Amino acid sequence: MVKFNYFELYNLIPASFNSTSALSDLSVDGYDLIRLGLAGKEIRDALKLLLELVIDDRIHNNKEEMLELISRKKLKIARE
């Protein structure tokens, strides 16, 4: 009989197998983005961008990290 160390097996699973696959899985929601001053289409676009970045493993599904990213992008757009 083979014994498994489930912790080691879990660590072998690639990060791309994360469970985030829908907007509702994100750590942020529209209300968080409204507090940043976004409205309407900006909220939808920001959520779609965040989901894409999480699925591509470019950012973590972490509320603080996501809000910081959106705040920086909003500031950059305002300067242009």
Query: Which helix (H) or strand (E) segment is 68 a member of?
Result: helix 63-79
Residues making up the chain, counted from first to last: 80
* Domain housing 72: 20-79
- Is position 65 within any domain? yes
For 42-61, how does the pLDDT look when each residue is reduced to its tens digit (9 = 90+)? 999 999 999 999 999 999 99
Confidence grade of residue 2 (pLDDT, cut at 50, 70, 90): low
Q: What is the CATH number of the domain that holds 75?
A: 1.10.246
Total of domains in the chain: 1
